[in-house]
Every structure is written in structure tokens, then in C-alpha cells.
Amino acid sequence: MVYNGFGDKMNICNIGYNSILCEKNGKILLENRAYDSVYIIKSICRIKLAEKEYKVFPDCLILVNKGSAMEVTALDSPVFANYFCYREKVADIPEYTEDMRCNELSAIVKTMKSEEMKQQACYRDILGHYGQIFFLVAKRAIAEKETMQKIHPFYKLREDIYNQPYKKWNIEEIISASGLSRRQFYYSYKAVFNTSIKQDIIASRMDYAKYLLTNTDMRISQIAENCCYNSDQHFVQSFLKRYGVTPTDFRFVFLRFHVDRKQKQSENHKSP
């Protein structure tokens, strides 16, 4: 059966949300024996898939077919991913798509994981329908990505900025490559997005910093370096200016919130 986004619900299992595929500097071979699977990679790593090797950056969408395998090699940090397995073949989605904005897709996987853990009535049917929604949203995102790249080169540039916050963007080099004068470039970018390229670069790095603060145990100095800041102090000042709290306080509040929520959930489960 080839699933094209319509018809019967999908058969979904083995869901992972924000799961560690591979520890720092480690390697793992993920074999698909009974199911196809889809992965949203959330970390920088290297992947070998069907004899092809890729250096993967966050928000890469990968499909692994039944009977094949994916080798994952971690670099300087653990490899996190959102994923699930399914039986049906999916049409019109490539096995490897980079530079995807996967927040919406990740939210779907998070909901699927919650349904799987609760295992309430009809949860398998619900998971199947969420699987349908996931691939419909993925197809739409891929189509929009391709359309945006054709419409205006600034869209691709901005997408790269948000998908690669760890890259040391040089604005002067970007302007030179565009073929526009500095004034034309700044005016055109502002006209299209109602913000400056500098603000977009800062915003992408701050978003990435929040992700690292809440999903890894990296030190503040390591996060600052990963977000392309030359000093810890500059990074802390930028974070404080944007969010009103220091990175350390932000991490503390986030972790405290989740600990309290887990305690409340545990108490609710114990209540008669």
C-alpha cells in the first residue's frame, strides 16, 4: 500500500519525542526490520543512509524504509530526535529533506507520544490519524519551501539563518554575494520581512540558545560558543535583553516547572 495522505488511517508505533538517538561522540546503527520510520533530527551529526553520507543539521526530515538502516554518528553533543514508525509507504516525500522548519511537525509527534503513553480508548486509531496529519503537513511544508525559494532569494537566505543559528554569518559577505548595494540590500530585506537581517540573526541564535538550555546539559560557555558569541558576557547580556532573564535563571525556571508538573502528575495518578 502506498499512502498518499488520504484513505485509511496509518498503523503507528514506537514513537519518540526529544529522545536521544546517540550519546556524544558515539555511533549507532538503527535498523528497520518490520516498519518504515520517519525522523526529525534535532542535533548536528553525521548520517549514513542508503550508502549516502550527510552532515545533518537540526530540523532535517529523514525517511528510512523497511529493510534498510541508518547509521548515526554524534559529534560534540548527543543526537536528539523526534520519530515514529509506520507500516504504509509514503508517496511524494523524499528520504532526505534538509532545512525544514519542523516546529509544527514536532508538535504533532509530541501529541502522538502523549497519546501513546496514556493508552486511552481508541488511542491506536487516534495515532493513525495523527500519522496522516503529520505527512500532510510535511508535504505542505516541502511544497511551501520550494515555492518560497523560487519567489524571492531573501526567503531562502532567511530560512538558512533560522535553520543554521550556529553558523557565523557575515553580513558584509552576504550583501556582496547578493549583487546589491548595502543600501539596496538593507532596504529590500526590511521591505520583505519588516525587520533587519541583523535582528533575524540575533533572533535565530536566541531561539537556538533556548533549545540548548532546555534540552541539553551544556554549560553556558558552550552554549554561547555554539550560538557564535565571542564571550559569555556578551551572550548573557543579549539573552537578558531579549527575554528579561539570564540564561541560568531561564534554565532553572524551566527545569523547576517541569519537575513540579511531574510531581503533580504523579500525585494525581496516586489519588483514588
Place of cell 528497520: 32
Determine the average pLDDT of the residues in 109-114.
96
Residue with cell 542535533: 43
Higher pLDDT: 74 or 149? It is 74
Q: What pLDDT shows up at residue 102? A: 83
Distance, CA of 6 to CA of 245 (rounded, Å): 46
Instruction: Give the DSSP H or E segment for 181.
Output: none
- DSSP-derived secondary structure letter, 189: H
Q: Does pLDDT of 109 surpass 50? A: yes
Residue type, 138: A
Instruction: Kindly state the cell numbers that stand for 266.
Output: 504523579
In the predicted model, what is the mean pLDDT of the chain?
86
Phi first, then psi, for residue 101 (nearest 5°) are -90, 105
- CA dist 238 and 27 (Å) reads 35
**Sign of the four-CA dihedral 225, 230, 231, 236:** negative
Q: What is the pLDDT of residue 5?
A: 44
